[in-house]
Structure 1
Amino acid sequence: MSGTSYLAVSQWFTAAEQPPHLAAINPWEGVSDVYRDLVMRGGMPDTGFARQLQEGSFFGKNQKEDILAEADAHPLMDELWENKIPEFDQINVPAYVVASYSNTLHTAGTFRAWRRMACEEKWLRIHNSQEWSDYYDEANVEDLRRFLDHYLRGEDNGWEETPRVRYSVLDLEGGDRTGIPAESFPPAEVDSTRFYLEANSRSLTITTPTASAEASYDVAANPNAVSFITRFDEETELVGYPKAHLWVEARGSDDMDLFVLLQKLDAHGTPLQAFTVPNQNARIHDATDHGATILKYKGSDGRLRVSMRHLDEALSAEDVPAHAFDRVEKLQPAQLAEVEIDLLPIGLAFHPGEQLRFVISSRNLLGTMMPGIHEYVGANSGQHVIHTGGENASYLQLPVLK
Structure 2
Amino acid sequence: YRDMAHHGGIFCRGFVQDWSKAQVYTVQNGRGTRGFKSRMNGDWVSGPETLSEELLGQNRRDFYEDCISRKLDTDPYWQSRMPDWSKVKTPLLSSANWGGQGLHPRGNFEGFVRSASEQKWLECHGIEHWTHFYTNYGLQLQKKFFGHFLKGEDTGWSKQPKVLLQVRHPGEKFVERREGEWPLARTKWTKFYLHPGDMTISSAPQKTASSVTYAGLGDGVTFLTEPLEHEIEVTGPIAAKLWVSSATEDADLFLVVRAFTPDLKEVTFQGALDSHTPIAQGWLRCSHRKLDPKLTLPYRPYHTHDAQQKLTRGQVYEVDVEVWPTCIVLPKGYRLALSVRGTDYVFPGEPGAGLETLGKVWTGVGPFTHNDPRDRPPAIFGGDVTLHAGPDRAAHVLLPVIPKK
| TM-score under structure 1 length normalisation | 0.82
* 1:247-295 superposed Cα distances (whole Å, 9 cap, x missing partner): 01102x1110111100011111111012247xxxxxxxxxxxxxx53x4
Q: Which residue number corresponds to residue 354 of structure 1?
A: 334
Given that 2:234 and 2:328 are in contact with CA atoms closer than 8 Å, whether structure 1 keeps it comes out as: yes
* 1:334-369 superposed Cα distances (whole Å, 9 cap, x missing partner): 211111111121111111111001000111114999
Q: Residue 298 of structure 1: CA displacement?
A: 1.9
Code of the residue aligned with 1:151 in structure 2: it is: F
CA distance in 2, matches of 1:321, 1:337: 16
**Cα distance change, pair 236–276 in 1 and its aligned pair in 2 (3 A):** same
Q: Which residue number corresponds to residue 207 of structure 1?
A: 204
CA distance in 2, matches of 1:76, 1:276: 29
Question: SS at the partner of 1:297?
Answer: coil
Given that 1:38 and 1:47 are in contact with CA atoms closer than 8 Å, whether structure 2 keeps it comes out as: no
Q: Which residue number corresponds to residue 167 of structure 1?
A: 165
- Asked whether 1:197 is paired with 2:197, we answer no
CA distance in 2, matches of 1:374, 1:163: 33
Q: Which residue number corresponds to residue 67 of structure 1?
A: 63
Q: Residue 70 of structure 1: CA displacement?
A: 2.3
Question: SS at the partner of 2:65?
Answer: helix
Question: SS at the partner of 2:267?
Answer: coil
- Asked whether 1:376 is paired with 2:370, we answer yes
Code of the residue aligned with 1:149 in structure 2: it is: G
Code of the residue aligned with 1:341 in structure 2: it is: V
% identical equivalent positions = 24
Given that 2:279 and 2:328 are in contact with CA atoms closer than 8 Å, whether structure 1 keeps it comes out as: no
- Stretches of structure 1 that go unaligned for 5 or more consecutive residues are 1-34, 278-291
Structure showing greater radius of gyration is: 2
**Cα distance change, pair 202–49 in 1 and its aligned pair in 2 (3 A):** same
Runs of 4+ residues over 6 Å off in structure 1: 367-370
| 1:150-161 correspondence to structure 2 within 5 Å | 150-161=148-159
Q: Residue 154 of structure 1: CA displacement?
A: 1.2
Code of the residue aligned with 1:201 in structure 2: it is: D
- Stretches of structure 2 that go unaligned for 5 or more consecutive residues are 31-55, 361-366
* 1:215-250 superposed Cα distances (whole Å, 9 cap, x missing partner): 1113466xx311111132011101101111100110
Given that 2:99 and 2:270 are in contact with CA atoms closer than 8 Å, whether structure 1 keeps it comes out as: no
Q: Which residue number corresponds to residue 398 of structure 2?
A: 397
Q: Which residue number corresponds to residue 303 of structure 2?
A: 323
Q: Which residue number corresponds to residue 251 of structure 2?
A: 256
CA distance in 1, matches of 2:129, 2:343: 28
Given that 2:221 and 2:341 are in contact with CA atoms closer than 8 Å, whether structure 1 keeps it comes out as: yes
CA distance in 1, matches of 2:382, 2:151: 60
- Asked whether 1:299 is paired with 2:279, we answer yes
* 1:17-47 superposed Cα distances (whole Å, 9 cap, x missing partner): xxxxxxxxxxxxxxxxxx1122111111223
CA distance in 2, matches of 1:300, 1:374: 13
Code of the residue aligned with 2:222 in structure 1: it is: S
Q: Which residue number corresponds to residue 247 of structure 1?
A: 243
Which of the numbers 21, 38, 41 marks the counterpart of 1:55?
Answer: 21
* 1:125-156 superposed Cα distances (whole Å, 9 cap, x missing partner): 10122231110111321222111111111123
Question: SS at the partner of 2:213?
Answer: strand
Q: Which residue number corresponds to residue 345 of structure 1?
A: 325
Given that 1:196 and 1:207 are in contact with CA atoms closer than 8 Å, whether structure 2 keeps it comes out as: yes
Code of the residue aligned with 1:188 in structure 2: it is: A
Q: Residue 180 of structure 1: CA displacement?
A: 0.7
CA distance in 2, matches of 1:220, 1:163: 45
Given that 1:101 and 1:344 are in contact with CA atoms closer than 8 Å, whether structure 2 keeps it comes out as: no
Given that 1:54 and 1:66 are in contact with CA atoms closer than 8 Å, whether structure 2 keeps it comes out as: no
Aligned length: 349
Q: Which residue number corresponds to residue 46 of structure 2?
A: none
Code of the residue aligned with 1:94 in structure 2: it is: P
| TM-score under structure 2 length normalisation | 0.81
